[in-house]
Every structure is written in C-alpha cells, then in structure tokens.
Structure 1
C-alpha cells in the first residue's frame, strides 16, 4: 500500500503530500517527518526516552505522534514507521543556558537510572593508546610535519590517560548514563520561544561522550561565561559536583582527539591541513574545558585535578 495512503488510515490524516519522498510530508496539521526503524528494541528505547525526558523536564521533544489506536508506531513493509512534527525554526544558545541545562541535567538523571535498568547498551570501550600509536606509525604517506606533531602529542596523551585512571580510581560510583548521541546544538528547534529537541534515531551511548561533545561545541561557540552558566543549570537537575562530575571530567581528559585524528588520516577523510587544524582546535578546547570544569567543581569541594 502507498505510504501516504497508509498514514491517512493510521492517523486519520488527509491532504497529504510528499515534500521529500519517504522523509517529510505536508498535512493539514503541518509538516511531518516519517522515520523507518529496522530494530524494534531501538525504537522502543527511543519512544520511552522521548516520553520520559519530555515528562520530567517539560521540554518539547520530537515524540512519536500516536496513531488513531494510541500506538507510537505502525508496522509497514519496510519495518516500523513513526511520525514526528517537523520544526525548522532554530533555537538560540546564548541567553538560553537554563533551558539547555535542564535538558542535559534531566537527560543525565534519567540516563543514569537507565544504566541500572537496561543492560542492552554496553559502555563504549576506549581504544588503547598503544593501538593508536601503532596505527600512526603505519601511516607511511602522512606529511612528516603532521606526523611529528602527532607523535609528540602521543606523550601528552599518555599523561592524560594516566590522569583518567587516577580520577576513576578515586570515584566510588562506576555507573555511566545511557544517553542519546543527538544532544547537539544543531538539533535544537524553537516552538513559540520554547526549546524543541530533535532526538534522531541513532543507537544510544553509555557514557559521558555526548555531553563532552556538546560542551566542546558550546564552549567554542559561546565562551567560558556561558559554559559556566550551562554547568550551573545542569547541576540544578543532576549532581555534577559529585563523583558524576568527576566522571564527566575523566571523559574530557581522555585523549579522544588523537584517536579521531589518526583515524581520519588512516581513512583519508580530509586534507591534511583541515585535519590538523581541527586537531589543534579540539586539543586546545579540551584543555580549557578540563581547567574550567575542575575549577568549577573545586569551588565547593576538594581538588580533583592536579596541576
């Protein structure tokens, strides 16, 4: 059966017209997006995630529109189909730190609870730094100057890995939240001056990596003062000035930049100058964020990072 006709039946809609076939369509109730899911467990996780974060935070998410029978999806010949409101207005960042903090804090609180309940999603394992160095040594065609810089960065990365171990050894809790990888500034939309978050359809990640990526992006775009406001707002909904904050700090200290850069050279993804510029910028941003977060935590407690 034609998908538009099927959606008319399932949702009681009319006057449907494709904007992008099998992606977005226009209805009498506005623009909608259709997503096709191949993994029912992943779909069910996303349904619950959206419902819980929206309920607990009061923030709008691109939740699954219910069918006439009250179901969040319907079965089609391609898998399971969901329908979502499609919003295009971009939500601002600066001046909206409280809203973003509420979203992140609520996501972390619920994500930590999920880590106790859901065993399907395993924590992402760090790739051993020695394996990264081995790959770097095998890049024979790499620009000599770029290779020299990365080889020297390896020693600093080793020091950072030792610091990560020290941070993790002092933590009493070993739990990691299960989070959507789509916690991104680019996924923020605005509905009547309110934040509307697009959650995507990717596999969730167990660990603080999505928060690290978000904070790096936020810091680069909005600076230190705004970043501190976001951290303070997160702390209103999630106890960052505890072992959980130290866990986030350990994630920031982990030298992901070196691993990502070597992988980009291995796969020849971009020009050498572009990759190295991104590496320098990311390395410096991470350094500044580690100092910022450690000092912010120390404001009300003991030191967490040795200078």
Structure 2
C-alpha cells in the first residue's frame, strides 16, 4: 500500500499495519495520523506543540520527527503528521494543577506567537435576540426569561466595563480547548492532545473548558486548576481580568435562542430554560472562584 510504504521510508519503520485511516500499528507502538491541507495551519500546530512541551513531565502531542527531523511529510495534495497514540485514561480530578500549568503555558505562547494563519473571530453572546420573542412565551417561562435577560444585561455591562480599560491588552492566540479528555497521564508524564482546527484569539474556549471542569470535578478542583493557571508569569492581572470578563459574558442564553429559532414545543422550551438556569449557576461559581483568586493576586502585587 502506497501510504504504508511512504511511512516506512520516511520514519524508518520495518513493520507498519493500517488499523484505520487515522491509526497505524508499528514495531514502536500505535501511532495516530493527521492530515493537513493548509500549510500555515500545520506550522501553527507544530509550533505551539513544540513550545508548550516542558520535558520530561509535561508534553503536548508533538509531531514525531521523520528521518530528516521534519515534523510532517508531503502526502497527496497536503501533508501528514504522525503522533504517539495513548490509550490510558487520565484521571482529571487528580491533576487540576497540571492542567492549569498547561493552559498557562499555552496562553504564554499565544501572547508571543505571530502565526501566519488567521485566528477565528471572537464569539459574542446572543441574549439580545430573545428580547423580541420573550413576549410569545408562556407566562411562567416568560417570567424566568425576563429575569435572566435583566441579569444578562447587567453581566454584559460589567464585562464591558472591565474590558474598556484593556483595549490595548493583547489577547492570546491558542488552540481551542475542547474537553477534559484532551489530557491524559502516563506514569508521571502529563500529555495534552491538541486539535487540527484554526486557533482562536481570546479566552472563550478556556471559559468553556473551565465550566466543564467545574461540572465534572467540582469547585475545589476548579480552584486548584485556576490557582495554578494564574500563578504563571503570563497571567498578569490584566490577562486574568480578560479571562474574568469572558466568563462574565452571558453565553448561557445562546442555547435558548437556538431552541426558540427551531420552533420547539413549550415543554421543550421549559426544559431548555431549566438547563440554562443550571448553567447560569455554574457560571456564577466560576466567576466567584476567578474573582477571589484575582483579588488574592492583587494583594500579592501590593505587598
């Protein structure tokens, strides 16, 4: 098979077997294949993985170098990279500090990087779209949504106030964080698995990741993660406030905006409102944790 022969040639493997289009088995273990059509995007992903790997205890899933010490090989109309594949699940709740350290390392690189690839634009909350449709809701649903809209406007105003004094503060360019499964622990080595998508500018996906971490691992674990993250030198008070402002923005109502656009039943709308209120409480906890840590950091700077 052409692909297997090419891999043997460039990586000097003797035995290569195709498991599926994304996995191969070699005499050096199982490897994951990733395909790229955009050279600038590929270079970005090579760069941050190399920069954010702090050997020997904290690694990103770097591209395995071939016989010429190159991170990728040409394949058909694009490029192909090879990565070690790891099957052992990482227990997230035990390693909040390591995750926090990795996120901070990614932010540090993202503040210094100047990639040729264009990062995705910043997302904004959709809650104002509900103002026109709230009157059509059943009374009990309408009362809850009106209250959430009022609080959303307050939160957005507070976020904008924080951002108003930080217009010149750079936003990091990072590989978007997805879920806790992005990280695994192999013996004493922490490994972070990146994506293949365009980088984002700002803290939106970090906000989403922290919320998911809170829901899966609890407030105490979140506190350890964020405390470790904010200890990093890249997290100046200004960067911490940018993150706080992103967490203040009322994205929770986006789910309801989409639900109403699909002309759902009253029962489904009520269920979505319940989900929104639960998410609202999680966001409130996240903001409280960040605010407390930022205040503590301010006191350290003042002493």
Please confirm whether the aligned pair reaches a TM-score higher than 0.5, indicating the same fold. Answer: yes
Distance 1:144 1:17, change over 3 A: farther
Counterpart for residue 216 of structure 2: 221
Counterpart for residue 79 of structure 1: 78
Is the contact made by 2:176 and 2:205 (CA closer than 8 Å) also made in structure 1? yes
Counting only pairs closer than 5 Å after superposition, residues 109-258 of structure 1 correspond to structure 2 as 109-114=108-113, 120-121=118-119, 123-126=121-124, 129-130=127-128, 132-133=129-130, 137=133, 146=141, 149-171=144-166, 173-182=168-177, 184-238=179-233, 240=235, 242-258=237-253
RMSD, aligned α-carbons: 2.9
Counterpart for residue 44 of structure 1: 43
Counterpart for residue 23 of structure 2: 24
**TM-score (norm: length of structure 1):** 0.85
Cα distance in 2 for residues equivalent to 1:33 and 1:55: 21
**TM-score (norm: length of structure 2):** 0.86
Q: Report the Cα offset of residue 275 of structure 1.
A: 3.8
Equivalenced residues, count: 297
Counterpart for residue 305 of structure 1: none
SS state of the match for residue 32, structure 2? strand
User: What are the superposed Cα offsets for residues 170-197 of structure 1, whole Å, 9 maximum, x if unpaired?
Assistant: 3374211111113531111222232111
Structure 1 unaligned segments of length 5 or more: list them: 303-307
Distance 1:57 1:206, change over 3 A: farther
Cα distance in 2 for residues equivalent to 1:128 and 1:96: 34
Q: Report the Cα offset of residue 95 of structure 1.
A: 3.0
